[in-house]
Amino acid sequence: MKTVFARSVPVFFLSILINLFQPSANSLLSFGQDASVLVVVMAFFIAWGVCWLPIGTFLAIALSWHPNKPLPPEQKLPILVSLYLLAPLIVWGIAWLTNTSLLDYGLVKNISILASLGQGFSLGVLGLAVVFLFQWASGWCSFQSSNPVETRAIALTVQTVLLPILFIALFVGGIEELVFRGFLFTELNHDYSVWAAAVVSSIVFAVLHLIWEQQETIPQLPGLWLMGMVLVLARFVDGGCLGLAWGLHAGWVWAIACLDTAQLVTYTGKVSEWVTGKNQKPLAGVAGIVCLLLTGVVLWIFS
């Protein structure tokens, strides 16, 4: 009798502990739906970081990387992809907890998002083309060497990188739009005005780019913030859908990455690098700011 009693006591207390400390799906849903916007936002970024930390640590050790050490694109890509692949899962988890439809974050299931994606991509590439053509006409930059051998090598490089960079640009642009213009802006807009949500989400978007390269990113912070604001405008123009913003983002990433990879642009030094872009980064100069402003004006006109 004592043996049976002695065995039943631990089981009894164990069942109490399980009921006390093991949250049910209903309690999680209740917490998520009642939590404030700031708690939801913090929970998203903490969960994203915690889930990625083991993967990021392993890759950082394997690549001998730390935030103050710039990585070449071929080494940076695995770290970026591993981080961004987790984002949709975390967004879905938060949406489930808060009982939010992914439609609220700008994800639509019909083909219209593809049409908006194409329009945004075309507008993004066209805007950059206009800015670089103006710089070329002004003698601020040149596009290729007069050496025929170098010209053929550049042409071959361009043909090789166009498609792979396109996939990367679509992937990066899509994930960043889902996170910043989809999830973050929408959640902030629940408790704050449209302007406040746009400003704050764009600040977070700009500041988080410091994770990769601090020295080159700091001069780009104003441009990155303005880029975020223009992309918020693009979402409004597209009726709340992320397609147009996604296309713009991907178009900018694709065009700049192709120019950098193929080394198509050479700056002549006739004007300050703060005009063309410090460290040859358009967003760190007047040229990139003008491109964003022109894009914003076009979006505003056609809205």
Q: Dump pLDDT digits (tens) for 111-141.
A: 889 999 999 999 999 999 999 999 999 999 9
Within a domain: 9 = no
pLDDT digits (tens, 9 = 90+) for 128-186: 999 999 999 999 998 865 555 556 666 666 677 788 899 999 999 999 999 999 999 99
Q: Which stretch, 14-28, 46-60, 171-185, has highest mean pLDDT? A: 171-185
- Say whether both 213 and 224 belong to one domain: yes
Mean pLDDT of 15-21: 44
Q: How far apart are CA 226 and CA 216, in angstroms?
A: 17
pLDDT at 98: 87
- Say whether both 230 and 297 belong to one domain: yes
Report which of residues 73 and 56 the model is more confident about: 56
Residue type, 91: V
pLDDT at 182: 96
- Say whether both 27 and 116 belong to one domain: no
- Say whether both 165 and 227 belong to one domain: yes
Cβ atoms of 251 and 122 closer than 8 Å: yes
- Say whether both 89 and 181 belong to one domain: no
pLDDT digits (tens, 9 = 90+) for 57-99: 888 888 777 666 666 767 778 888 999 999 999 999 999 988 8
Q: How many domains does the chain have?
A: 2
State which of 83, 100, 117 marks the end of a domain.
100
- Say whether both 226 and 113 belong to one domain: yes
pLDDT at 152: 65
- Say whether both 84 and 114 belong to one domain: no
pLDDT at 76: 79
Q: Is pLDDT of 110 > 50?
A: yes
pLDDT at 221: 96
pLDDT digits (tens, 9 = 90+) for 197-245: 999 999 999 999 988 778 888 999 999 999 999 999 999 999 999 999 9
Cβ atoms of 99 and 29 closer than 8 Å: yes
Q: How far apart are CA 145 and CA 213, in angstroms?
A: 30
- Say whether both 118 and 208 belong to one domain: yes
Per residue, the 3-state secondary structure of the chain, as one string, reads: CHHHHHHHHHHHHHHHHHHHHCCCHHHHHHHHHHCCHHHHHHHHHHHHHHHHHHHHHHHHHHHCCCCCCCCCHHHHHHHHHHHHHHHHHHHHHHHHHCCCCHHHHCCCCCCHHHHHHHHHHHHHHHHHHHHHHHHHHCCCEECCCCCHHHHHHHHHHHHHHHHHHHHHHHHHHHHHHHHHHHHHHHHHHHHCCHHHHHHHHHHHHHHHHHHCCHHHHHHHHHHHHHHHHHHHHHHHHCCCCCHHHHHHHHHHHHHHHHHHHHCCCEECCCCCHHHHCHHHCHHHCHHHHHHHHHHHHHHHHHC
Query: Which residue range forms the structural domain that includes residue 95?
Result: 21-100
Within a domain: 1 = no
- Say whether both 286 and 257 belong to one domain: yes
Query: Quick one: tokens of 115?
Result: 């049409």
If pLDDT is split at 50, 70 and 90, which confidence band does 14 have? very low
- Say whether both 119 and 55 belong to one domain: no
pLDDT at 56: 85
Within a domain: 12 = no
pLDDT at 89: 95
- Say whether both 85 and 163 belong to one domain: no
